Amino acid sequence: MPLSVSLSVRIFVKQAITCYMDQRYDLKSTKTRAFILKIFADRRLPLTELELRLRLSKLEIKVNKTTIYRHLATLREHGFIRDIDFGDGKKRYEL
C-alpha cells in the first residue's frame, strides 16, 4: 500500500473517531468502535464479521456476534464503512 493511501486512511480514521467523540453523529464513543475502525484502517482487504471478531479477540476485546453486527450497521449507516457481497454468502466490510 502506498504511503499516501495509508496516511490518508489513518487520517480518515482519526477524523471518524473524533466525530464520535464530538457526538456529531449522536453516537456514543466506545473503545470497540474505535478499534473496529482501526482494524479496517490497518487492513487492505474487506473483512467478514467473523474475521473482525477474531481480530478484536486478539486485542483482548470481547464482543459477541450481535454486538459486532450492530456496530457494523451503525458505521455503515453513517458512511464510515461499506458492505461488499462477493456472492459467496459472506458479507464483507471495508472503509
d(CA 26, CA 40): 22
Q: Give tens-digit pLDDT for 23-76.
A: 556 666 677 888 888 898 888 889 999 999 999 999 888 888 999 999 999 889
CA-closest candidate to residue 43, choices 73, 35, 65, 30: 35
Q: What stretches of 1-95 adopt beta strand conformation (E)? A: 47-48, 82-85, 91-94
Helices 31-42 and 3-22 sit at what angle, rounded to 10 degrees?
Answer: 170
d(CA 95, CA 77): 13
Confirm if 68 and 49 have CB atoms less than 8 A apart. Answer: yes
- So what's the pLDDT on residue 1? 43
pTM: 0.72
